A and B are shown apart, each in its own frame.
Chain A
Amino acid sequence: MILFFILASLSVAFSLLVVLRRNVVHCAMALAATLFLVAVLFVTLDAPMLGVLQVLVYAGAIMILILFVIMLLNPAALETRPAAWRILGALGAAALCVELAVLFFYRPASLSAPTAPAGFGGVEAVAESLFTGFVLPFEVASVLLLVAIIGAVALGKRGG
């Protein structure tokens, strides 16, 4: 419980930094920290494999990619939008947040955590589910990744 509050407050603080910092590199580092904290939250929710994947794929691959693009483009820090936009964004986010939170707190029954079976969320259990019930989406995801690779190469090619 205490662990959850520490992780939750830290992840909210870092995600606020993502939105509010002017410097893009600071935003990227704050996002990496947020992704790490969410990975730890995954582990506390008995999803160790997804936690590891989160660190590898998100905090590793995607953040490196974003940092490389920032480094290549070296953009000047842009101003945030005018005050009207900022107020609109803050109000909209607050309204959305309150709405979702209210929805979640009007739950039909109190869901306290049932005990998970041994090996829940481990590599074996996730892989078994992935390769039996979800094998068609798995194949579709592989095609999607192939298309994304080809698209990225075609877009990134000079003069392409």
Chain B
Amino acid sequence: MAPLHYYLALGAVLFAIGVAGVVIRRDIIVILMSIELMLNAVNLTFIAFARFLVSLDGQVIVFFVMTVAAAEAVVGLAIIISVFRHRQTLDPAEMTLLKW
């Protein structure tokens, strides 16, 4: 098995790619997918720490993160559909109704 910091570095790389996706993409569905990518990177570090500290708490927390991610995806996609019905766009730059 690879040492712990290899897994942590992989988690860092995946998280950074997710951040880059949120910054550079204009499609709100891809932004949502990048957020899922970031959640997965964090899950990977949780699982790695759980294995290397021989504690199941990390795995249980990953279970909860998955629950929250599922809820977030469901509500987020419902909001995207609702916005698309009104505006016919997926570009978050055009959703300016609440912008001051």
Contacts and interface: CB of A to CB of B under 8 A. Distances in A.
Given A61-B70, A125-B56, A45 B7 contact: yes
A134 B63 CA distance: 11
A150 to B, nearest CB: 10
A69 B12 contact: no
Interface in A25-57: 27-28, 31, 34-35, 38, 41-42, 44-47, 49-50, 53-54, 57
Interface in B36-79: 36-37, 40, 43-44, 47-48, 50-52, 54, 56-57, 59-60, 62-64, 66-75, 77-79
Q: Secondary structure of the A side of the interface?
A: helix
Interface string A131-155: 0011001000100110111011001
A24 B14 contact: no
Interface string B12-26: 111111111101111
Contacts of B21: 18-19
A97 B13 contact: yes
Contacts of A81: 23-26
A152 B26 contact: no
Contacts of A24: 27, 29-30
Contacts of B70: 57, 61-62, 145, 148
Contacts of B79: 155
A37 B7 CA distance: 13
B100 interface: no
B15 A100 contact: yes
B20 A93 contact: yes
A151 B37 contact: no
Contact of B24 (A19, A57, A77, A110): A19
Nearest to A125: B56
A77 B60 CA distance: 38
Given A41-B44, A120-B56, A155-B82, A31 B36 contact: yes
B24 A58 contact: no
The 10 closest A-B pairs by CB, nearest first: A89-B23, A100-B12, A148-B71, A93-B20, A97-B16, A155-B78, A89-B24, A19-B21, A4-B2, A104-B8
Interface of B: 1-21, 23-27, 29-30, 32-34, 36-37, 40, 43-44, 47-48, 50-52, 54, 56-57, 59-60, 62-64, 66-75, 77-82, 84, 90-91
